[in-house]
Structure 1
């Protein structure tokens, strides 16, 4: 038994959570919703789950809390979940997390387990904003945890790409990016004017490709520096995409990362993707990620409890939750498999036939963008103008290309991620816990997963129910012949022009 109560009907991890009060930041996000569902569904006996929610776009904390329960991910959850999960008004952008004195006192006195997931995941976020949320927020959480009187475990959720300038990324801490200091960075955030801060941003980032990976690397140093005497660990997931098994296969609620590219390809908008087809695509299902996250919180407590010396207690574990070496997926496999399932399950939202390719070559990719994106967009927008409609496809492509430029850094490179801590954790879990909290990436069926992923994009992001597939296949057949007709026309024009030039 680890904590809570002795009960043979509960697994080790379930006993750890029994009677616990859990505090979660970032619970309104993609990862957070699955964590809330999983804690409720698989950890009976949790006393309460407190989630930090800020007022946003005119909506109060209570209104945003209700919105969480309206999400499809909670369709199968018992109504009792509404009594277990309690909203706490706060904001990671504010000093002291924006907590009231009463809420802070309650959290300090009651909370046992903390999951800090709140972050801005926008790669093009302004550095000042990213530092305030990702770094200052982590610092405020650590300060809060240091005052908690009944704390068992704290998990700081980072990303596998905090050290992306390196080729080999081990489960350990690394020096601060570019030799900077946390306190100096935070002081700059408060003191330097916006225009000057924008000017020094490229200098501060150095080899880091964007503000997200840079600030998450800085946040890890916050945990290392200020969380040394806490039962804390750092969890680094790869590229998190849809669910594999729980609560349903294929559920997803955002267009981040490769999901936006696949959704664009499925609708016939994106025709080319710049990536290295031989590089490993480090993607992980969100439910397996959450299962590993929950197990890591238990492991952190067990490590602290069994520490043989003060030095052992000070060692902060790092967990790289990434694709297993024995069961990897390349970007070429990813595009070919998603194309296969995209053709099997077309969407009624498609404006053209699914046909896209990937290439690492900048020139070939640039030419593809000109001929497969910009020229059709120019023709479409011209037709719209002729009929008195507002042109919008060219503007859409400009946004898409900015997004594609951001993800190309990750689709053109390959990293070697050490996953010893995650695999050792899996080997030490009981059979029951392995069934309840499955996260062994070596056993992931990529074909099944990507099939569900494509169907999930169709259903949850494009809002096209599965019942329309037969009708979409009929429409897809027409788009196919239009596609073939257009290709034939272009070939004939090229041959005609070539023949005229020869003569």
Structure 2
């Protein structure tokens, strides 16, 4: 029986559909639900695959095969497989197409009849993703999810996980307000999602007619995404397509109860199921690993601004807590939550750089030859003008001279030249990609967050 005011009790006997189930947050959410509430009725896990066999293989390898589930495996021991088979149904899908790519009509009807909650975690989070891919998943995927939810007779709640950075480069306090359909950040008129689709189709048709290679198509689609995002005031393809996804969900949901979760920069787990679990190279990690490898020795940034980060398990706890709390909201209301740390426990870039330096001095990264990579304090520039001057004087002139000397000496310095060029190109790519956030000065106040925070912290107690 559901316990009043208890987020764990709320999950009892619930049937939940989760999209993007091989993703970072989805895995942590799945592990959390199975660990704290074994009496959940059913979890339908949607993941991209060509058929059910491939879907199950991906689930076994990319989800249950992860170290994240070691606490759950220890808890259930030899009974784990039976438990998973009873509680989890893995479904091949593609949310970028109509009906989320679900083809088994019998299974579709079963899901529609039983599902009570949908948690949409499917997303591509690359800042410079191909525009066709990002629009398909982040924007049209949101549309297909909400349209599916409207066909479920016993439906209770839709949870859509977005990003706090759909606000673009606005400074100051960012409020938890919805994005209206067709509303750009810079006041540019004519933001129309159907037109964006046509622009992509026309560009792909043009590239095909010109005989472009797959590599050329990828580059063109990435450039198109950044171009379209910038035209309407967003800094990159990821946040632009996520913003349009929110627009569509808000416009199409009608009477569906809706929660939109907007986390800031999601980092490794703080506590559950154990601290420090992370998967892949995420936003901050690119810089930290680049520094550890000796690639990053300088960076333009405001060392006194705020980096808004939040541990992944706190995001998951908030998702669960907000679902339970939503029953206290007026029917059919859309509630938006910013999940971050900037108003309660902010960290400055200068502090992060100092902590990173101290860590890798004590515990250095080792290169391919087994030698420790020595690091030193990183050089920072408080504006891009001084950064570019430094690059020109310290590296570009030297690189050009080295190129000439290398050619004159029959390529004797080829390795040194290529190594320096590769490192410089890597730094410049990272700076260009993350440029809007290196001087970011916005905070996400959690206007309705105090009770949610308390419920989330309750969920931090391992079961």
Tell me if TM exceeds 0.5: yes
The answer to whether residue 145 in structure 2 is matched with residue 137 in structure 1 is no
Q: What is the CA distance between 1:186 and its match in structure 2?
A: 5.7
1:279 counterpart SS class: coil
Q: Among 227, 232, 239, which residue is 1:202 paired with?
A: 227
Once residues 395 and 113 of structure 2 are traced to their aligned partners in structure 1, the CA distance between those partners, rounded to angstroms, is: 57
Q: What is the CA distance between 1:21 and its match in structure 2?
A: 1.4
Once residues 77 and 185 of structure 1 are traced to their aligned partners in structure 2, the CA distance between those partners, rounded to angstroms, is: 47
The answer to whether residue 180 in structure 2 is matched with residue 154 in structure 1 is no
Q: Among 95, 100, 118, which residue is 1:97 paired with?
A: 100
The answer to whether residue 286 in structure 2 is matched with residue 265 in structure 1 is no
Q: Is the 8 A contact 1:243 1:285 kept in 2?
A: yes
Quote the residue 1:474 is aligned against. none
Quote the residue 1:362 is aligned against. 384
Once residues 107 and 372 of structure 1 are traced to their aligned partners in structure 2, the CA distance between those partners, rounded to angstroms, is: 61
Once residues 294 and 74 of structure 1 are traced to their aligned partners in structure 2, the CA distance between those partners, rounded to angstroms, is: 19
Once residues 33 and 379 of structure 1 are traced to their aligned partners in structure 2, the CA distance between those partners, rounded to angstroms, is: 48
2:45 counterpart SS class: strand
Quote the residue 1:458 is aligned against. none
Q: Among 216, 222, 241, which residue is 2:267 paired with?
A: 241
Q: Among 74, 82, 86, which residue is 2:84 paired with?
A: 82
CA 1:89–1:199: 2 relative to 1, 3 Å: closer
Q: What is the correspondence of 1:62-461 to structure 2 with a 5 Å cutoff?
A: 62-67=56-61, 68-78=63-73, 79-80=80-81, 82-83=84-85, 84-100=87-103, 101-167=105-171, 168-175=173-180, 176-177=183-184, 178-180=188-190, 183-185=193-195, 187-188=197-198, 191-194=201-204, 202=227, 205-303=231-329, 307=330, 313-349=331-367, 350-369=372-391, 386=412, 391=418, 394-395=421-422, 397-427=424-454, 429=455, 434-437=457-460
CA 1:387–1:333: 2 relative to 1, 3 Å: closer
CA 1:396–1:91: 2 relative to 1, 3 Å: farther
The number of residues matched between the two structures is 418
Once residues 140 and 122 of structure 1 are traced to their aligned partners in structure 2, the CA distance between those partners, rounded to angstroms, is: 21
Q: Is the 8 A contact 2:298 2:378 kept in 1?
A: yes
Once residues 2 and 333 of structure 2 are traced to their aligned partners in structure 1, the CA distance between those partners, rounded to angstroms, is: 29
Q: What is the CA distance between 1:271 and its match in structure 2?
A: 0.7
TM-score, normalised to structure 2, is 0.81
Q: Is the 8 A contact 1:269 1:352 kept in 2?
A: no
Q: Is the 8 A contact 1:14 1:44 kept in 2?
A: no
Once residues 309 and 133 of structure 2 are traced to their aligned partners in structure 1, the CA distance between those partners, rounded to angstroms, is: 27
Q: What is the CA distance between 1:412 and its match in structure 2?
A: 0.8
Q: Is the 8 A contact 2:160 2:258 kept in 1?
A: yes
Once residues 401 and 178 of structure 2 are traced to their aligned partners in structure 1, the CA distance between those partners, rounded to angstroms, is: 49
Quote the residue 1:470 is aligned against. none
CA 1:214–1:371: 2 relative to 1, 3 Å: same
CA 1:389–1:329: 2 relative to 1, 3 Å: closer
Once residues 134 and 93 of structure 1 are traced to their aligned partners in structure 2, the CA distance between those partners, rounded to angstroms, is: 8
Quote the residue 2:214 is aligned against. none
TM-score, normalised to structure 1, is 0.75
Once residues 197 and 380 of structure 2 are traced to their aligned partners in structure 1, the CA distance between those partners, rounded to angstroms, is: 43
Q: What is the CA distance between 1:360 and its match in structure 2?
A: 2.6
Quote the residue 1:500 is aligned against. none
CA 1:299–1:270: 2 relative to 1, 3 Å: same
Once residues 354 and 86 of structure 1 are traced to their aligned partners in structure 2, the CA distance between those partners, rounded to angstroms, is: 50
More moved, 264-273 vs 188-197: 188-197
Q: What is the CA distance between 1:140 and its match in structure 2?
A: 0.3
Once residues 285 and 299 of structure 1 are traced to their aligned partners in structure 2, the CA distance between those partners, rounded to angstroms, is: 21
Once residues 436 and 419 of structure 1 are traced to their aligned partners in structure 2, the CA distance between those partners, rounded to angstroms, is: 19
What do the CA deviations read for 1:243-301 (whole angstroms, capped 9, x no partner)? 11112211111212111100111122211122110111011111111111111122223
Q: What is the CA distance between 1:348 and its match in structure 2?
A: 2.4
Once residues 124 and 166 of structure 2 are traced to their aligned partners in structure 1, the CA distance between those partners, rounded to angstroms, is: 14
What do the CA deviations read for 1:41-96 (whole angstroms, capped 9, x no partner)? 1223112211111138xx92122111111111112222356323321001122222
Q: Is the 8 A contact 1:7 1:15 kept in 2?
A: yes
CA 1:378–1:345: 2 relative to 1, 3 Å: farther
CA 1:342–1:96: 2 relative to 1, 3 Å: same
Q: What is the CA distance between 1:314 and its match in structure 2?
A: 3.6
Quote the residue 1:16 is aligned against. 10
1:162 counterpart SS class: helix
Quote the residue 1:501 is aligned against. none
